Amino acid sequence: MTCEPTRLEMLLTRIAFFLGGKSVYQDFSDRLPLQGAEKVLDFGCGMGTVAYYTAKRLPQGHLVCLDISQKWLSACRRILRGLNNVSFLCAEATELPQDSFDVIYCHFVLHDISPNDLAIVIPQLAKSLKPGGIFVIREPLNEAETLRGIKRLTEHSGLLLKTSRITHVPLMGNALESIYAKNTSREV
């Protein structure tokens, strides 16, 4: 499955990044539970709007930017050029190795994935987390049915809800931010 963005979508994202980067993307990145040495996955990185801020918070860590779109990854590479703690992966979630990441985050991505694909993606993301790993999402609040499905799938995948809050995101509206933790045992 590939989903290439339109030129308009890329332009609007670029404008949002330059106009609202700090209040939208840095704000989310600053709340990620990072110490600076983690291996982190930006799932559905797009043009790297959150990754731009997150990579700078990982001086001894590593950020993997994953997207299914070559166009988005090319834009992401341009935004993150010069950072040596970032790698780029054009792949599906099913291609991720098990127990690989300390933190996985998704910023306004999961609501665009069909329910059938979410049933595959979320368990795979959970498997890709190390025991005790953290899964962080920010999704539009107006996608209530999708949010219920995401919550159900995360909990069925062995992820435990640690905290959740509703926040207003400039340019995007109200959103739900949730932090889940993977069981420390390897059993799910």
Model pLDDT for residues 119-159, shown as the tens digit of each residue:
999 999 999 999 999 999 999 999 889 999 999 999 999 99
- The reported pTM is 0.90
pLDDT mean over 50-58: 96
Model pLDDT for residues 81-127, shown as the tens digit of each residue:
999 999 999 999 999 999 999 999 999 999 999 999 999 999 999 99
Return the CATH class of domain 7-182: alpha beta
What amino acid occupies position 132? Answer: G
Which pLDDT score is estimated for 183? 85
Report the DSSP beta bridge partners of residue 63: 40, 86
Report the DSSP beta bridge partners of residue 66: 43, 89
pLDDT mean over 73-88: 94
Contact 36, 59 (CB under 8 A): yes
